[in-house]
């Protein structure tokens, strides 16, 4: 069976880095102040519930080399700005693991600033920051995995997955990420991928979500994971951008159980915008209005599964391809743009009672 996008790209890339995990040196601009029952050995915080490291300046893991930081067993670290992969050639990782283990960052977090950085939040660990950047500069690589029930990454500002570099955000097994606005592929030349997988896994955008702002963005929602964007979701916003939403699996892979996407509207912009349904769900509902607001190429693809669109779709002017399974227009209006139906697939118009 062909491996999925998540298996071959996302999971492997993050786990390969984690397989070589070794607690090393943590360099901070400000001298750490240790309280309660903690201790420092070679600038490493020794595990212990209630141990705290209060850094009044920036926290730079590695600072030009290879640095590893592990926060576990109820430890707490606080700092202003945090950097993982601060310089070219650096390859840094930070792990926040276990209930009560926290990293409080009062300003911004950079995971992959100029080099490679990885942040793992697991087993109830928690990180808070202002704005989070993954893959900040060109050629940088930023990866973050938020895994397990109670594991959280709360951002008071935005979450930018792929500012100018390449970035990966994985939320699985009940992990949760929140922010004001979420961006995948912010600047030209960037690539941002987010996968939200598993029941209880959530990515909550209190403002907007943008999949492909000026670069390439991919959002995959599968296996009961949930993504919400309170004001709307923008797909392939600028000319030259590429934005893809996969409900279930990616177009070239196997169908997967769908996740949920909750947003009032999906806006197709001036780039290449793709909404892909490749799932195994028997009656998947998407209530968002679909609107072509830009001059780009816009496409809806139903590859597998039974999908019902209950929002307004008359404002969509792109192409709809029903390649497999069934697609039902269950709102009050007709589908705009052109339609292509492959053999064995079906397109139906069946307004629900609530829509009539």
- Residue 188's H or E segment, with its range, is none
Distance from C-alpha of 310 to C-alpha of 292, rounded to nearest angstrom: 17
pLDDT confidence of residue 64? 64
Distance from C-alpha of 215 to C-alpha of 353, rounded to nearest angstrom: 41
- Residue 155, classed as helix, strand or coil, is strand
- Running along the chain, 356 residues long, what does each successive block of 10 average in pLDDT? 37 36 30 28 44 74 75 91 92 94 96 96 98 98 98 98 98 98 98 98 98 98 98 98 98 97 98 98 96 98 98 96 96 89 92 42
pLDDT confidence of residue 287? 96
The first and second tokens of residue 112, run together, are 């992959």
* CB 183 within 8 Å of CB 177: no
* CB 335 within 8 Å of CB 310: no
| Predicted structure pTM score | 0.87
Distance from C-alpha of 284 to C-alpha of 129, rounded to nearest angstrom: 35
Neighbouring residues of 274: CB distance < 8 A, sequence distance ≥ 6: 235, 236, 242, 243, 244, 245, 251, 299, 301
- DSSP letter, residue 101: -
Distance from C-alpha of 158 to C-alpha of 160, rounded to nearest angstrom: 6
Distance from C-alpha of 143 to C-alpha of 18, rounded to nearest angstrom: 11
Helices (H), the chain: 5, 12-18
Neighbouring residues of 122: CB distance < 8 A, sequence distance ≥ 6: 95, 96, 97, 145, 146, 147, 148, 151, 175
Polymer length of the chain: 356
300: nearest Cα among 338, 271, 259: 338
């Amino acid at each position: 069976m062909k491996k999925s996008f998540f298996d071959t790209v996302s999971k492997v890339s993050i786990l390969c880095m984690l397989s070589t995990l070794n607690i090393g040196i943590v360099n901070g601009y400000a001298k750490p102040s240790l309280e309660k029952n903690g201790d420092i050995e070679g600038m490493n915080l020794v595990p212990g519930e209630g141990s705290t490291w209060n850094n009044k300046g920036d926290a730079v893991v590695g600072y030009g080399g290879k640095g590893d930081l592990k926060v576990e067993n109820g430890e707490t670290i606080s700092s202003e700005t945090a950097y993982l992969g601060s310089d070219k050639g650096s390859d840094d990782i930070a792990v926040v693991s276990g209930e009560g283990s926290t990293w409080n960052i009062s300003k911004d977090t950079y995971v992959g600033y100029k080099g490679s950085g990885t942040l793992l939040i697991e087993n109830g660990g928690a990180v808070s920051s202002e704005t989070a950047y993954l893959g900040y500069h060109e050629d940088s690589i930023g990866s973050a995995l938020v895994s397990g029930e109670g594991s959280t990454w709360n951002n008071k500002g935005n979450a930018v997955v792929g500012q100018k570099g390449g970035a990966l955000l994985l939320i699985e097994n009940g992990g949760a990420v929140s922010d004001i606005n979420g961006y995948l592929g912010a600047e030209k030349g960037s690539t941002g991928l987010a996968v939200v997988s598993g029941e209880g896994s959530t990515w909550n955008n209190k403002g907007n979500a943008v999949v492909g702002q000026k670069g390439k963005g991919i959002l995959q929602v599968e296996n009961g994971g949930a993504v919400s964007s309170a004001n709307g979701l923008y797909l392939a916003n600028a000319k030259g951008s590429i934005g893809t939403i996969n409900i279930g699996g990616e177009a070239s892979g196997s169908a997967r159980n769908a996740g949920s996407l909750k947003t009032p509207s999906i806006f197709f912009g001036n780039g290449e915008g793709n909404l892909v349904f490749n799932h195994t769900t028997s009656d998947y509902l998407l209530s968002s209005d679909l609107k072509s607001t830009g001059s780009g190429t816009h496409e809806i693809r139903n590859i597998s599964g039974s999908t019902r669109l209950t929002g307004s779709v008359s404002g969509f002017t792109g192409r709809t391809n029903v390649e497999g399974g069934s697609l039902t227009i269950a709102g009050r209006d007709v589908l705009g743009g052109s339609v292509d139906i492959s053999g064995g697939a079906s397109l139906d118009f069946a307004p629900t009672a609530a829509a009539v």
